Amino acid sequence: MWKRRLSWLIIIIAAAFLYLFSNESVTLALLLVCLLSPAVSAAVLLFSSKKVRVRFESAEINEENIRFKVVIDNPGILPMSEIEIPVRCTNLRTGETDEVMINGSAMSKNERAVFIRTSSRHSGRYELRADNALVMDPLRLWSKKVIVDQKLSLTVMPKIFDMRLNVTNSAASMIDSEQYSRSRKGIEPGEVRSIREYVPGDPIKNIHWKLSEKTDKMLVKELELPVTDQIIVMLDTFTDGSITEDEMDSIASVYVSLMIALLTEGLEFSAGWIDPAGSRPVINKILTEEDFVSATSRFLAVPRMYQNSAVDLLGRELPDSRYAHIIIAGSQIPDDLDMLANGGQVTLLLCGGESSMTVGEGANIIGFGEDSFEDDLAEIEV
Protein backbone atom coordinates (compact mmCIF):
# COMPACT_ATOMS: atom_id res chain seq x y z
CA MET A 1 0.00 0.00 0.00
CA TRP A 2 2.89 2.39 0.72
CA LYS A 3 4.06 1.93 -2.87
CA ARG A 4 0.69 3.19 -4.15
CA ARG A 5 0.90 6.19 -1.82
CA LEU A 6 4.40 6.98 -3.01
CA SER A 7 3.31 6.66 -6.63
CA TRP A 8 0.35 8.97 -6.04
CA LEU A 9 2.57 11.49 -4.26
CA ILE A 10 4.86 11.53 -7.29
CA ILE A 11 1.83 12.13 -9.54
CA ILE A 12 0.72 15.09 -7.38
CA ILE A 13 4.24 16.60 -7.40
CA ALA A 14 4.43 16.19 -11.16
CA ALA A 15 1.02 17.86 -11.59
CA ALA A 16 2.15 20.75 -9.34
CA PHE A 17 5.30 21.31 -11.42
CA LEU A 18 3.25 21.34 -14.60
CA TYR A 19 0.97 23.99 -13.16
CA LEU A 20 3.89 26.13 -11.89
CA PHE A 21 5.63 26.14 -15.22
CA SER A 22 2.57 26.44 -17.49
CA ASN A 23 0.12 28.28 -15.21
CA GLU A 24 -2.85 27.23 -17.36
CA SER A 25 -6.38 26.20 -16.40
CA VAL A 26 -5.85 22.69 -17.78
CA THR A 27 -2.85 22.00 -15.54
CA LEU A 28 -4.71 23.59 -12.61
CA ALA A 29 -7.64 21.24 -13.17
CA LEU A 30 -5.23 18.33 -13.36
CA LEU A 31 -3.61 19.35 -10.07
CA LEU A 32 -6.99 19.68 -8.35
CA VAL A 33 -8.04 16.26 -9.58
CA CYS A 34 -4.80 14.75 -8.27
CA LEU A 35 -5.29 16.45 -4.89
CA LEU A 36 -9.00 15.74 -4.47
CA SER A 37 -9.04 12.13 -5.68
CA PRO A 38 -7.23 10.67 -2.63
CA ALA A 39 -9.46 12.76 -0.34
CA VAL A 40 -12.66 11.56 -2.02
CA SER A 41 -11.39 7.98 -2.03
CA ALA A 42 -10.60 8.24 1.68
CA ALA A 43 -14.08 9.66 2.37
CA VAL A 44 -15.71 6.73 0.58
CA LEU A 45 -13.74 4.39 2.81
CA LEU A 46 -14.44 6.38 5.96
CA PHE A 47 -18.21 6.42 5.53
CA SER A 48 -18.56 2.88 4.21
CA SER A 49 -20.21 0.27 6.40
CA LYS A 50 -18.40 -0.82 9.54
CA LYS A 51 -19.60 -4.37 9.10
CA VAL A 52 -19.65 -6.85 6.25
CA ARG A 53 -21.69 -10.05 6.11
CA VAL A 54 -20.19 -13.30 4.89
CA ARG A 55 -22.04 -16.54 4.14
CA PHE A 56 -20.39 -19.87 3.42
CA GLU A 57 -22.88 -21.61 1.17
CA SER A 58 -21.46 -24.79 -0.34
CA ALA A 59 -18.39 -26.95 -0.80
CA GLU A 60 -17.04 -29.03 -3.67
CA ILE A 61 -14.24 -31.57 -3.40
CA ASN A 62 -11.86 -32.73 -6.10
CA GLU A 63 -8.56 -34.60 -6.22
CA GLU A 64 -6.49 -31.49 -5.47
CA ASN A 65 -8.43 -29.32 -3.05
CA ILE A 66 -11.82 -28.20 -1.75
CA ARG A 67 -13.62 -25.16 -3.14
CA PHE A 68 -16.00 -23.22 -0.90
CA LYS A 69 -18.57 -20.79 -2.23
CA VAL A 70 -18.65 -17.57 -0.21
CA VAL A 71 -21.18 -14.74 -0.53
CA ILE A 72 -20.07 -11.23 0.51
CA ASP A 73 -22.88 -8.90 1.49
CA ASN A 74 -22.31 -5.15 1.84
CA PRO A 75 -25.15 -3.68 3.93
CA GLY A 76 -23.94 -0.07 3.48
CA ILE A 77 -24.87 2.52 0.87
CA LEU A 78 -21.25 3.05 -0.28
CA PRO A 79 -19.34 0.44 -2.27
CA MET A 80 -16.42 -1.57 -0.93
CA SER A 81 -14.05 -1.62 -3.85
CA GLU A 82 -11.68 -4.20 -2.40
CA ILE A 83 -12.11 -6.52 0.57
CA GLU A 84 -9.63 -8.97 2.07
CA ILE A 85 -11.10 -11.47 4.53
CA PRO A 86 -8.85 -14.09 6.15
CA VAL A 87 -10.76 -17.33 6.75
CA ARG A 88 -9.55 -20.10 9.02
CA CYS A 89 -10.66 -23.53 7.75
CA THR A 90 -10.42 -26.52 10.09
CA ASN A 91 -11.29 -30.10 9.21
CA LEU A 92 -12.64 -31.40 12.53
CA ARG A 93 -12.19 -35.02 11.45
CA THR A 94 -8.57 -34.94 10.27
CA GLY A 95 -7.39 -31.94 12.29
CA GLU A 96 -6.07 -30.15 9.19
CA THR A 97 -6.07 -26.35 9.46
CA ASP A 98 -5.63 -23.88 6.64
CA GLU A 99 -5.95 -20.12 6.34
CA VAL A 100 -7.16 -18.72 3.03
CA MET A 101 -7.86 -15.19 1.89
CA ILE A 102 -11.11 -13.98 0.35
CA ASN A 103 -10.42 -11.25 -2.18
CA GLY A 104 -13.38 -9.44 -3.66
CA SER A 105 -15.51 -6.36 -3.77
CA ALA A 106 -19.09 -5.51 -2.91
CA MET A 107 -21.29 -2.81 -4.32
CA SER A 108 -23.67 -0.88 -2.09
CA LYS A 109 -26.60 -2.91 -0.79
CA ASN A 110 -25.46 -5.82 -2.87
CA GLU A 111 -24.12 -9.36 -2.65
CA ARG A 112 -21.28 -10.98 -4.52
CA ALA A 113 -20.28 -14.63 -4.68
CA VAL A 114 -16.61 -15.63 -4.69
CA PHE A 115 -14.79 -18.94 -4.32
CA ILE A 116 -11.92 -19.91 -2.07
CA ARG A 117 -9.78 -23.04 -2.23
CA THR A 118 -8.11 -24.84 0.66
CA SER A 119 -5.00 -26.96 0.56
CA SER A 120 -6.97 -29.82 2.14
CA ARG A 121 -8.72 -32.31 -0.12
CA HIS A 122 -10.21 -34.62 2.49
CA SER A 123 -13.80 -35.15 3.52
CA GLY A 124 -15.00 -34.08 6.93
CA ARG A 125 -16.90 -31.46 8.84
CA TYR A 126 -15.23 -28.13 8.10
CA GLU A 127 -15.40 -25.24 10.52
CA LEU A 128 -14.92 -21.91 8.75
CA ARG A 129 -14.32 -18.78 10.78
CA ALA A 130 -13.85 -15.15 9.69
CA ASP A 131 -13.41 -12.51 12.39
CA ASN A 132 -12.37 -9.27 10.68
CA ALA A 133 -11.93 -7.95 7.17
CA LEU A 134 -9.66 -5.35 5.64
CA VAL A 135 -11.48 -2.89 3.36
CA MET A 136 -9.59 -0.52 1.05
CA ASP A 137 -10.60 2.70 -0.64
CA PRO A 138 -11.15 2.81 -4.43
CA LEU A 139 -7.58 4.04 -5.04
CA ARG A 140 -6.20 1.43 -2.61
CA LEU A 141 -4.32 4.08 -0.66
CA TRP A 142 -6.04 3.60 2.70
CA SER A 143 -7.61 0.72 4.59
CA LYS A 144 -9.67 -0.01 7.65
CA LYS A 145 -10.78 -3.07 9.55
CA VAL A 146 -14.43 -4.01 9.62
CA ILE A 147 -16.22 -6.63 11.68
CA VAL A 148 -17.22 -9.94 10.12
CA ASP A 149 -17.59 -12.32 13.08
CA GLN A 150 -18.90 -15.24 11.06
CA LYS A 151 -18.56 -18.92 11.94
CA LEU A 152 -20.13 -21.80 10.10
CA SER A 153 -19.70 -25.53 9.61
CA LEU A 154 -20.04 -27.30 6.27
CA THR A 155 -19.98 -31.02 5.56
CA VAL A 156 -17.75 -32.27 2.76
CA MET A 157 -18.93 -35.77 1.89
CA PRO A 158 -16.50 -38.59 1.09
CA LYS A 159 -16.58 -40.42 -2.21
CA ILE A 160 -19.66 -42.61 -2.54
CA PHE A 161 -19.54 -45.81 -4.59
CA ASP A 162 -22.05 -48.47 -5.54
CA MET A 163 -21.90 -51.19 -2.89
CA ARG A 164 -24.10 -54.16 -3.70
CA LEU A 165 -25.33 -56.16 -0.73
CA ASN A 166 -25.93 -59.88 -0.56
CA VAL A 167 -28.90 -59.75 1.80
CA THR A 168 -29.29 -62.95 3.81
CA ASN A 169 -32.62 -64.23 5.07
CA SER A 170 -31.87 -63.08 8.62
CA ALA A 171 -31.24 -59.48 7.60
CA ALA A 172 -34.24 -59.36 5.32
CA SER A 173 -36.63 -60.53 8.01
CA MET A 174 -38.81 -58.16 9.99
CA ILE A 175 -37.61 -56.58 13.21
CA ASP A 176 -40.23 -58.47 15.22
CA SER A 177 -39.33 -61.79 13.60
CA GLU A 178 -38.96 -65.04 15.48
CA GLN A 179 -35.15 -64.91 15.48
CA TYR A 180 -33.29 -65.34 18.72
CA SER A 181 -29.75 -64.87 19.93
CA ARG A 182 -27.78 -68.09 19.92
CA SER A 183 -25.98 -67.42 23.21
CA ARG A 184 -27.52 -64.62 25.32
CA LYS A 185 -30.44 -65.13 27.65
CA GLY A 186 -33.66 -63.18 27.42
CA ILE A 187 -35.83 -61.34 29.91
CA GLU A 188 -39.17 -61.19 28.09
CA PRO A 189 -41.77 -63.96 27.74
CA GLY A 190 -41.09 -66.04 24.68
CA GLU A 191 -39.70 -69.41 23.81
CA VAL A 192 -38.14 -71.25 26.76
CA ARG A 193 -34.47 -71.94 26.28
CA SER A 194 -33.98 -74.24 29.29
CA ILE A 195 -35.03 -74.96 32.87
CA ARG A 196 -32.57 -74.58 35.74
CA GLU A 197 -32.46 -74.03 39.46
CA TYR A 198 -33.22 -70.59 40.86
CA VAL A 199 -30.27 -68.39 41.84
CA PRO A 200 -30.53 -65.07 43.70
CA GLY A 201 -31.19 -62.27 41.23
CA ASP A 202 -33.34 -64.25 38.84
CA PRO A 203 -36.65 -62.49 37.96
CA ILE A 204 -39.53 -63.80 40.03
CA LYS A 205 -41.77 -63.82 36.95
CA ASN A 206 -39.51 -66.44 35.35
CA ILE A 207 -40.09 -69.01 38.11
CA HIS A 208 -41.68 -72.21 36.81
CA TRP A 209 -44.18 -72.71 39.65
CA LYS A 210 -45.80 -75.94 38.53
CA LEU A 211 -42.52 -77.72 37.90
CA SER A 212 -41.07 -76.33 41.14
CA GLU A 213 -43.98 -77.86 43.09
CA LYS A 214 -43.43 -81.27 41.52
CA THR A 215 -39.67 -81.37 42.13
CA ASP A 216 -39.58 -79.51 45.45
CA LYS A 217 -36.91 -77.26 43.91
CA MET A 218 -37.18 -73.64 42.89
CA LEU A 219 -36.82 -73.75 39.11
CA VAL A 220 -36.76 -70.88 36.64
CA LYS A 221 -37.36 -70.65 32.94
CA GLU A 222 -34.40 -69.38 30.92
CA LEU A 223 -35.93 -67.49 28.01
CA GLU A 224 -34.67 -66.84 24.53
CA LEU A 225 -33.63 -63.29 23.67
CA PRO A 226 -35.36 -61.92 20.54
CA VAL A 227 -33.08 -60.15 18.10
CA THR A 228 -34.78 -56.75 17.96
CA ASP A 229 -32.13 -54.92 15.92
CA GLN A 230 -30.70 -56.72 12.96
CA ILE A 231 -27.74 -54.59 11.85
CA ILE A 232 -25.47 -51.95 13.33
CA VAL A 233 -22.74 -50.21 11.31
CA MET A 234 -19.89 -48.87 13.45
CA LEU A 235 -17.10 -46.47 12.50
CA ASP A 236 -13.89 -47.23 14.39
CA THR A 237 -11.83 -44.03 14.66
CA PHE A 238 -9.19 -45.71 16.80
CA THR A 239 -5.65 -45.59 15.40
CA ASP A 240 -2.10 -46.07 16.58
CA GLY A 241 -1.12 -42.93 14.65
CA SER A 242 -0.04 -44.67 11.46
CA ILE A 243 -3.25 -44.06 9.51
CA THR A 244 -3.10 -41.30 6.91
CA GLU A 245 -5.76 -38.78 5.95
CA ASP A 246 -6.22 -40.61 2.63
CA GLU A 247 -6.90 -43.86 4.50
CA MET A 248 -9.37 -42.03 6.74
CA ASP A 249 -11.13 -40.86 3.59
CA SER A 250 -11.30 -44.43 2.29
CA ILE A 251 -12.83 -45.69 5.55
CA ALA A 252 -15.36 -42.84 5.52
CA SER A 253 -16.29 -43.69 1.91
CA VAL A 254 -16.87 -47.34 2.84
CA TYR A 255 -18.89 -46.38 5.93
CA VAL A 256 -21.15 -43.92 4.08
CA SER A 257 -21.58 -46.14 1.01
CA LEU A 258 -22.59 -49.06 3.21
CA MET A 259 -25.27 -46.96 4.94
CA ILE A 260 -26.62 -45.82 1.57
CA ALA A 261 -26.70 -49.43 0.35
CA LEU A 262 -28.66 -50.51 3.44
CA LEU A 263 -31.13 -47.65 2.95
CA THR A 264 -31.53 -48.59 -0.71
CA GLU A 265 -32.32 -52.18 0.29
CA GLY A 266 -34.98 -50.88 2.66
CA LEU A 267 -33.27 -52.38 5.72
CA GLU A 268 -33.61 -50.76 9.11
CA PHE A 269 -30.25 -50.42 10.84
CA SER A 270 -28.31 -48.41 13.38
CA ALA A 271 -25.18 -46.38 12.78
CA GLY A 272 -22.63 -45.65 15.47
CA TRP A 273 -19.24 -44.25 16.34
CA ILE A 274 -17.30 -43.36 19.46
CA ASP A 275 -17.79 -40.01 21.15
CA PRO A 276 -14.22 -38.81 21.81
CA ALA A 277 -15.29 -36.55 24.66
CA GLY A 278 -17.01 -39.20 26.74
CA SER A 279 -15.41 -42.26 25.10
CA ARG A 280 -18.82 -43.85 24.76
CA PRO A 281 -20.64 -45.26 21.74
CA VAL A 282 -23.07 -42.95 19.94
CA ILE A 283 -25.85 -45.00 18.36
CA ASN A 284 -28.35 -43.59 15.85
CA LYS A 285 -31.31 -45.43 14.39
CA ILE A 286 -31.33 -44.87 10.61
CA LEU A 287 -34.82 -45.11 9.17
CA THR A 288 -34.91 -42.29 6.62
CA GLU A 289 -32.61 -40.28 4.41
CA GLU A 290 -32.88 -37.41 6.90
CA ASP A 291 -31.54 -39.70 9.63
CA PHE A 292 -28.63 -40.59 7.37
CA VAL A 293 -27.79 -36.94 6.56
CA SER A 294 -27.90 -36.00 10.24
CA ALA A 295 -25.69 -38.91 11.27
CA THR A 296 -23.20 -38.22 8.47
CA SER A 297 -22.72 -34.58 9.43
CA ARG A 298 -22.04 -35.69 13.00
CA PHE A 299 -19.60 -38.54 12.45
CA LEU A 300 -17.58 -36.52 9.92
CA ALA A 301 -16.73 -34.17 12.79
CA VAL A 302 -15.33 -36.96 14.99
CA PRO A 303 -11.51 -36.87 15.18
CA ARG A 304 -9.31 -39.94 15.26
CA MET A 305 -8.67 -41.52 18.66
CA TYR A 306 -5.46 -43.00 20.03
CA GLN A 307 -7.05 -45.27 22.62
CA ASN A 308 -10.14 -47.40 23.10
CA SER A 309 -11.27 -48.99 19.86
CA ALA A 310 -14.92 -49.25 18.95
CA VAL A 311 -14.83 -53.00 19.59
CA ASP A 312 -13.43 -52.58 23.10
CA LEU A 313 -15.98 -49.92 23.98
CA LEU A 314 -18.88 -51.82 22.47
CA GLY A 315 -17.96 -54.86 24.48
CA ARG A 316 -18.01 -52.85 27.71
CA GLU A 317 -20.74 -50.30 27.08
CA LEU A 318 -23.30 -52.38 25.19
CA PRO A 319 -23.35 -55.71 26.99
CA ASP A 320 -27.09 -56.07 26.43
CA SER A 321 -27.13 -55.08 22.77
CA ARG A 322 -29.08 -57.39 20.53
CA TYR A 323 -27.65 -57.07 17.04
CA ALA A 324 -27.69 -59.96 14.62
CA HIS A 325 -24.87 -58.42 12.56
CA ILE A 326 -22.29 -55.85 13.67
CA ILE A 327 -20.31 -54.32 10.79
CA ILE A 328 -17.27 -52.21 11.67
CA ALA A 329 -15.23 -50.02 9.29
CA GLY A 330 -11.75 -49.30 10.59
CA SER A 331 -8.00 -49.68 10.22
CA GLN A 332 -7.05 -51.81 13.24
CA ILE A 333 -7.73 -55.44 14.17
CA PRO A 334 -8.83 -55.28 17.81
CA ASP A 335 -8.32 -58.06 20.31
CA ASP A 336 -11.19 -60.44 21.01
CA LEU A 337 -13.10 -59.48 17.88
CA ASP A 338 -14.97 -62.77 17.99
CA MET A 339 -16.15 -62.07 21.54
CA LEU A 340 -18.22 -59.15 20.24
CA ALA A 341 -20.23 -61.51 18.04
CA ASN A 342 -21.76 -63.06 21.14
CA GLY A 343 -23.95 -65.40 19.20
CA GLY A 344 -24.45 -63.11 16.23
CA GLN A 345 -22.12 -62.09 13.42
CA VAL A 346 -19.33 -59.49 13.28
CA THR A 347 -17.73 -58.25 10.07
CA LEU A 348 -14.69 -55.98 10.18
CA LEU A 349 -14.07 -53.99 6.99
CA LEU A 350 -10.35 -53.41 7.38
CA CYS A 351 -8.49 -50.67 5.52
CA GLY A 352 -5.10 -52.02 4.54
CA GLY A 353 -6.15 -55.64 4.99
CA GLU A 354 -4.84 -57.88 2.24
CA SER A 355 -7.49 -60.57 2.19
CA SER A 356 -10.55 -61.94 3.91
CA MET A 357 -10.29 -64.21 6.93
CA THR A 358 -12.36 -65.71 9.72
CA VAL A 359 -11.44 -64.96 13.33
CA GLY A 360 -13.14 -67.27 15.78
CA GLU A 361 -16.84 -68.08 15.65
CA GLY A 362 -19.02 -65.53 13.89
CA ALA A 363 -16.25 -62.97 13.19
CA ASN A 364 -14.98 -62.17 9.69
CA ILE A 365 -12.42 -59.67 8.40
CA ILE A 366 -12.69 -58.29 4.87
CA GLY A 367 -9.69 -56.26 3.76
CA PHE A 368 -9.76 -53.37 1.31
CA GLY A 369 -7.15 -51.07 -0.15
CA GLU A 370 -6.94 -47.31 0.13
CA ASP A 371 -7.41 -46.94 -3.63
CA SER A 372 -9.16 -50.22 -4.44
CA PHE A 373 -12.06 -50.22 -1.96
CA GLU A 374 -14.63 -49.88 -4.75
CA ASP A 375 -13.55 -53.21 -6.21
CA ASP A 376 -12.67 -54.94 -2.94
CA LEU A 377 -16.06 -54.19 -1.37
CA ALA A 378 -18.24 -54.25 -4.46
CA GLU A 379 -20.41 -56.82 -2.70
CA ILE A 380 -20.63 -57.89 0.93
CA GLU A 381 -23.03 -60.11 2.85
CA VAL A 382 -25.31 -58.73 5.54
**What's the CATH number where 256 sits?**
3.40.50
The model's confidence at residue 311, banded by pLDDT at 50, 70 and 90, is: low
Q: What is the structure's pLDDT at 251?
A: 92
Judged against a pLDDT cut of 80, whether residue 186 lies above it is answered with no
182 pLDDT above the threshold of 60: no
> Residues 251, 335: one domain?
yes
pLDDT, tens digit, 9 for 90 and up, residues 201-259: 666 767 878 788 878 888 877 655 444 457 889 888 777 667 888 888 999 999 999 99
pLDDT at position 21: 83
Query: Mean pLDDT highest for which of 240-249, 282-291, 314-323, 350-359?
Result: 282-291
Average pLDDT over residues 151-162: 89
Q: Are residues 135 and 242 part of one domain? A: no
Q: What is the pTM of this model?
A: 0.71
Helices (H), 159-288: 169-172, 209-215, 245-264
In terms of domains, do 203 and 312 share one?
no
Same domain for 218 and 231, yes or no, is no
Q: Are residues 20 and 61 in the same domain?
A: no
Do residues 76 and 150 share a domain? Answer: yes
Parallel/antiparallel/unpaired status of strands 53-61 and 66-74? antiparallel
- Is 133 found in the same domain as 192? no
Task: Residue 218: give the domain boundaries.
Answer: 185-226
Residue 313 confidence (pLDDT): 58
For the stretch 83-108, pLDDT in tens is 888 999 999 888 889 898 888 877 77
Task: Name, in order, each residue with C-beta under 8 angstroms of 259's C-beta and a sequence gap of 6 or more.
Answer: 233, 269, 271, 286, 292, 295, 296
For residue 254, what pLDDT is reported?
Answer: 94
Please check whether residues 89 and 137 belong to one and the same domain: yes
The mean of the pLDDT values for the chain is 79
Helix, strand or coil, per DSSP, at residue 212: helix
Q: Are 247 and 369 in contact (CB under 8 A)?
A: no
- For position 189, what pLDDT does the model report? 44
Query: Are 232 and 372 contained in the same domain?
Result: yes
Same domain, 200 and 113: no
Report the domain count for the chain.
4
Q: How far does Cα 177 stand from its chain's mean position?
A: 34
